Amino acid sequence: MPRLDRHLSEYLGIKRSDVRLLLAQGRVQVDGKTATEINQVISRFSVVECDGNRTLANTPRYLMLHKPAGVVSATEDHTHRTVIDLLEQPWKDQLHIVGRLDFNTTGLVLLTNDGRWSRQLSMPGSNLIKRYRVQVEQPLSSAYIEAFQRGFYFEYEGINTLPAELKILSEFEAEVGLVEGRYHQIKRMFGQFDNKVLGIHRFAVGSLVLGADLAPGHSRLLKPAELAALSIKIGHNNSCTAGR
């Protein structure tokens, strides 16, 4: 994160020694308080003002989107439509994706401009469970539940997957809960049984659940309560709002 003197020096086009004078004269405020230390660390979401004029005032954004099939989880793509293309907000180009979904996988995708928040959610130690509904070609049995709980060995990477939850919903449909996201992980786990996956839909990330009120291709800002609940779940107290 940048220091206050560096930010003001670059924004105002002045020397850092001149920033010291501005602070001594009480002309700089950070988050509504008069700044006194030139080495004060600020974040990209700090509100910095000099003589009443804002030099920095980014708003943190946190969105959930219902991804349809045939859309790329990327910020740009020269061939296919991306999740960013689905958004109508003027600040959509500031966003990045938190946890991608495959081209034909549908469901909940999170987007933000807060890199710290997305890193917290993506850390293996967060133990944030992502839940999916999966349709398969061959009938399911209790053997799947036991195997998913044990984890699988992926020879190509030379790794063992973490234990995963599997609940059989019907003969050809299951609910899967993962705390990691290996490449094509769900397809490869069912592939251990030579059972082809026909469809995957992510309906929850932690405490966030994709409801019927959000149609495919649509998005909305997270509510403050949703953001707070998710932050508590990953052990991170985030004071930012869900969007203004």
Domain 4-56 fold is 3.10.290
Instruction: Write out the catalytic residue numbers.
Output: 102
Half-sphere exposure in the Cβ direction for 114 (13 Å, CA): 22
For 160, counting Cβ atoms within 10 Å of its Cβ (0-12 exposed, 13-18 middle, 19+ buried), the class is exposed
Q: Which pair of structure tokens corresponds to residue 97?
A: 């994706």
**Nearest-10 Cα torsion for 82, 173, 149, 142:** -170
pLDDT at 233: 59
Which residues, at least 6 apart from 55, have a Cβ–Cβ distance to it below 8 Å? 7, 8, 11, 12, 48, 49
pLDDT of residue 242: 46
Torsional class of 205: left (φ above 0), alpha (ψ -120 to 50), beta (otherwise): beta
Residues 121 and 232: their CA atoms lie apart, in Å, by 11
Q: What is the CATH number of domain 62-124+207-233?
A: 3.30.70.580
Same fold, 4-56 and 129-205: no
Reduced to 3 states (helix: H, G, I; strand: E, B; else coil), residue 94 is helix
CA–centroid distance for 8 within its chain: 30
**Is this prediction's pTM over 0.75?**
yes
Residues in the chain: 244
Nearest in space to 97 (alpha carbons), one of 109, 86, 108, 106: 109
Distances (CA, A) of 32 to 2, 46, 242, 244: 18, 10, 20, 18
Per-run averaged pLDDT (10 residues), the chain, 244 residues: 89 92 95 94 92 90 96 91 94 92 96 91 83 98 96 89 96 96 92 97 96 94 91 49 39
The pLDDT of residue 155 is 86
CATH of 129-205, picked from 3.40.50.300, 3.30.56.10, 3.20.20.70, 3.30.70.1560, is: 3.30.70.1560
Residue ranges per structural domain of the chain: 4-56, 62-124+207-233, 129-205
pLDDT for 241 equals 37
